[in-house]
Amino acid sequence: MQSKPRTTEADPIAPAYDRNEFRFGFTPQAEIWNGRFAMIGFVAYLLWDLGGYSVVRDVLGLVSR
């Protein structure tokens, strides 16, 4: 079984732009950045909650004082 030789040509399927650049609209880049910001927000809330400043926990009455 022979394989094709590798070429230096750009892959026609791969996007010609950077996946990490910030682009507005419904683009894959926007979804990547949205996910990153959501992860940062989730970790920030967990740290805030561990610090004892939880609003959600107090409003829902999940833990009695």
Report DSSP letters for 20-47, one per residue. Answer: TS---SSSHHHHHHHHHHHHHHHHHHHH
> 27-31, 50-54, 55-59: lowest mean pLDDT where?
55-59
Q: Give yes or no for a contact between 20 and 32, defined as CB atoms under 8 angstroms apart.
A: yes
CA 52, CA 30: separation in Å to the nearest integer? 33
CA 30, CA 13: separation in Å to the nearest integer? 20
Place of tokens 């610090």: 51
Q: What is the mean pLDDT of residues 18-47?
A: 84
Q: Look at residue 43 in the predicted model and tell me its pLDDT.
A: 95
DSSP assignment, residue 51? Answer: T
Residue 51 has pLDDT above 80, yes or no: yes
